[in-house]
Structure 1
Amino acid sequence: MMAYLIKNAQIVNEQNIFTADVLIDNGSIQRVDSNINVEKNHQLIDAKGQFLIPGAIDDQVHFREPGLTHKETIKTGSLAAVAGGITSFMEMPNTNPQTVTQELLEEKFAMAAKSSYANYSFKFGGTNNNLDEIKKINPKTTAGLKLFLGSSTGNMLVDDWQVLEDIFKHSPVIISTHCEDEDTIKRNTEIYKAKYGEDIPIKYHPKIRSEEACYLSSSRAVELAKQTDARLHVFHLSTAKETHLFDSDIPLDQKQVTSEVCIHHLWFSDEDYDEKGTHIKWNPAIKTAQDRDELLKALLDNRIDVLATDHAPHTLEEKSQVYTQAPSGGPLVQHALPALLEFYHQGKIRIEDIVQKFCHNPALLFDVDKRGFIREGYKADLVLLNTKKPWTISKDNLLYKCGWSPFEGTSFQSQIEKTFVNGELIYDNFKFNDIKNAERLEFDR
């Protein structure tokens, strides 16, 4: 394994920015200091003028393997993630078959061990009838439990309240939820289908998957967590109203209930549906510009704890169907960090806060062992950022298997220059070193 010495980097870590050198050897950060001497076995990288940050940890991706690999694979998704500065991911259980038994969970881990370029873990899926399997989850080797309280695939909608209460009482790991009230969505859908048939104009998507549907489900989940003393993490908030369910005045490690926002809910609004159409059809729906702005405000004042992508690709053919048939979701891992850096350039967020919410906090929230920070002895998952190197997203530089992005045609001011995974330089300015040294995430629980 190569030893690297990164010189003169602007290190962003634990709410500080400082100039220092970083020595990487044997997969770990050996030293963080000023003026580290270069040895013969060191591969020297001069990072003057660039930010060095910990690799991002994405707590919500859909890499579609097994069973849906025409959209994405663990290999293609992890390559795109590494190119986007994401060095670790937690993948969701709604694949085919769904990850709802311990045997199927281990099969996915075996797939990732062979093909992933980024560090990996998987969420176990809850259903109305697999509580015994949930109780078997090993907290040290599995990221957590995912519950669909709306908008599920297959049989993963958990809509039996007694079952849900039992799961909250007995889950050995943190519970992550997709919160949208299914009955509200069904009623709204029927109203618009009666008027438009199957081809409902996309602009009504946030009316169908409404603020009411989101808040009703999120508030119930938060209430249940408090009643059962469960550890709850609510995925992808999309409304200003929901943000007021969460505390901002206590440290992350003391929170029983936490929340997340995704990049698309911070970037787009309902004003973009006319141009982007079903390419920005997500569940939960992108809502108003006011919601978008309030979500950013909640992220900055710590009501929202974590940034994520909810990377969920579909083919263009699938996305081009009429409203009721077009699936929700889109590819994001390659462009999430560059998009966040646009907010930094616009003065909307400090780079220290991007690192806090996309690197540090996912590690803290999920108890990820020795990742998410630039600390001696930690795994060398590192990203060099050039914030003065504009580029434009086009089909020629996309890495998603689905072959499209809602950001196509967008120009970003910052590029990911280099990405290290466990001390190996995997990505270097649009070129890859074909080295698979990703590791299964471990959890200090």
Structure 2
Amino acid sequence: MSSILIKSATIVNEGKQFTGDVLVKDGFIERIDSLIDSTADKEINAEGLHLFPGCIDDQVHFREPGLTYKGDIYTESRAAVAGGITSFMEMPNTVPNTLTQQLLEDKYQIAAHNSLANYSFFMGASNDNLDEVLRTDASKVCGVKVFMGSSTGNMLVDNPTTLEKLFAQSPMLIATHCEDEGTIKRNLAHYKELLGDDIPVRYHPIIRSEEACYLSSSMAVELAKKHNTRLHILHISTAKETHLFSNDMPLENKRITAEACIHHLWFTDADYETRGNFIKWNPAVKTQADRDGILKAVLDGRIDVIATDHAPHTLQEKQQPYLAAPSGGPLVQHALVAMLELYHQGKISLEQIAQKMAHNVATIFQVEKRGFIREGYWADLALVNLNKPWQVNKGNILYKCGWSPFEGNTFQSQVEATIVSGNLAYENGSFKNDKSGQRLSFTR
């Protein structure tokens, strides 16, 4: 489809809302105006609907290669597109871990054939692959991922010399998972001694504690300041950590930025009683005070991005006892509507949602011509009905794993259509273009 005309949408973009038309042609936004009197191959009547820039999710785990029984690039990108996410950045803890340039390129080749959404992949860092990391092409790869915590086992970077070299020499943005391994091990040993192997899941945020998060995050910030590294800390889970970040300069001038995830803005430790392992993430969902503190930091600009950390596991895996159940859950299909639910609750504005889920991600990662509704930019767009309630259930979940932590929730908003790189990929519950995603490029 070479052209699409969206008529009479309420456009949410760059801190404003206004009613207008958008003409998409050959993949790009050709014109934005109050009234466009033109013909197109496809015309969408968007009266009463809100048009957002497509969300850019800077942290997903789509499980391919090696773990495709949980999810794969095709299935999870479909779910993302249905949720208004038009671009994703995927993590290196696949099997094998993405620790060489060849393995990184292998993932790009899979996505080129199978992804409905636009895509990029992080280069993984380990204790002994610095030379490979330094070969990464910053114009074609979103960033370098460093696990400063035990979330992914053998990808843990815990050698102080390696960390110093990474932060001193990385040619591009470093994204970190921050939890202090020593603190977690001590906490786990303590509760195993008290309770044996039958530890209730409610102890998860005590084992993976505020102290563990803050020790690691503060160390990452200290290293970044020492070496002037471009640092992006992922999935902040405590109110205490939010004070490591500033809101005293324009985003494009920040060297240290931070991300909050949907689950840390939605759930609290009170939810372990009913949701159990289905809300077991690393870092852990913590207290209501932490949830409220994270939202406050999102609103005042200390936290810059809202993402998912989408990480599917099978029902069977999640139904195991706490110590055996893996951490992580699927979120891309429900991320935007979950944030719109917070809008309905009066907790965040539509403009802030567009900023945190699209504009700021594009700015932080220097994504080329995406993340904004602008003439000359790629047409990545999500058309949303803010007043079309629906309930999440097994019949409408698109994740390969077949479950959602939001099952039973009713959302007031629904994604009506998603345009990916100028292609109508999704409309009214149906997928229109199966492989429309493009590789993201970066202006670095």
TM bucket (normalised to shorter chain) is over 0.9
CA distance in structure 2 between the partners assigned to 1:78 and 1:352 by the alignment: 25
Match of 1:93 in 2: 92
Whether the aligned pair in 1 keeps the contact of 2:337 and 2:414 (CA below 8 Å) is yes
- Matched residue, 1:157: 156
Q: Is structure 2 residue 203 aligned with structure 1 residue 213?
A: no
Instruction: Specify the SS of the correspondent of 1:259.
Output: strand
Looking at structure 2, the residues matched to 268 and 210 of structure 1 have their Cα atoms a distance apart, in angstroms, of 16
Is the contact between residue 38 and residue 44 of structure 1 (CA under 8 Å) also seen in structure 2?
no
Q: Report the TM-score, using the length of structure 1 for normalisation.
A: 0.99
Q: Is the aligned partner of 1:16 residue 2:13?
A: no
Task: Name the SS of the counterpart of 2:265 in structure 1.
Answer: helix
Task: Among all aligned residue pairs of Structure 1 and Structure 2, give the percentage whose two residues are the same amino acid.
Answer: 63
Identify the residue that residue 36 of structure 1 maps to in structure 2.
36
Matches for 1:282-301 after TM superposition, within 5 Å: 282-301=281-300
Q: 1:87 to 1:393 in 2, by over 3 A?
A: same
CA distance in 1, matches of 2:428, 2:267: 27
8 Å Cα contact 2:22/2:29 also seen in 1:
yes
Can you list the C-alpha shifts for 1:333-364, whole angstroms capped at 9, x where unaligned?
A: 00000000001011100000000000000000
1:439 Cα deviation after fit:
0.5
Deviations 1:383-403 (A, max 9, x none): 101001000000000000000
User: How many pairs does the alignment contain?
Assistant: 444
TM-score (norm 2): 0.99
- 1:35 is paired with a residue whose SS is coil
Alpha-carbon distance in 2 for matches of 1:194, 1:300: 41
Is 1:354 aligned with 2:364? no
- Answer yes or no: is the 8 Å Cα contact 1:71–1:314 preserved in 2: yes
Q: Which residue of 2 aligns with 1:63?
A: 62
**Cα offset, 1:408, TM superposition:** 0.3
Q: Alpha-carbon deviation of 1:151?
A: 2.1
1:400-419 equivalences in 2 (<5 Å): 400-419=399-418
Residue 154 of structure 1: how far off its partner (Å): 4.2
Read off the aligned partner of 2:31 and give its amino acid letter. R
3-state SS in 2 of match to 1:152: helix
1:108 aligned partner: 107
Conservation of the 8 A alpha-carbon contact between 1:174 and 1:231: yes
Check the 8 A contact 1:151/1:283 in 2, yes or no. Answer: no
In structure 2, give the amino acid aligned to 1:255. Answer: K
Task: Quote the offset at 1:2 in angstroms.
Answer: 3.4
Tell me the alpha carbon deviations over residues 274-296 of structure 1, each in whole angstroms, 9 at most, x when there is no partner.
Answer: 00000000000000001001100
CA positional deviation for 1:6: 0.5
Q: 1:62 is aligned with what amino acid? A: H
User: 4+ residue stretches of structure 1 with deviation over 3 A?
Assistant: none
Code of the residue aligned with 1:200 in structure 2: it is I
Equivalent residue letter for 1:231: R
CA contact (8 A) 2:425 2:436 kept: no
Cα contact 2:278–2:329 (8 A) shared by 1: yes
- Aligned partner of 1:236 in structure 2 is 235
Other-structure match for 2:422: 423
Give the letter for the 1:343 counterpart: L
Q: After superposition, give the CA deviation of every residue in 1:4-61 in whole Å (9 maximum; x if it has no partner).
A: 110111001100101110001101100001111132x442111111110110000000
Alignment of 1:161-180 (within 5 A): 161-180=160-179
- C-alpha separation in 1, matches of 2:41 and 2:321: 56
C-alpha separation in 1, matches of 2:435 and 2:333: 18
| Gaps in structure 1 of 5+ consecutive residues | none
CA distance in 2, matches of 1:424, 1:176: 30
2:198 corresponds to: 199
AA of the residue aligned to 1:28 = F
Matched letter for residue 243 of structure 2: H
Q: CA deviation at 1:3?
A: 1.1
Letter in 2 for 1:348: K
| Residue number in structure 2 paired with 1:328 | 327
Matched letter for residue 29 of structure 2 = I
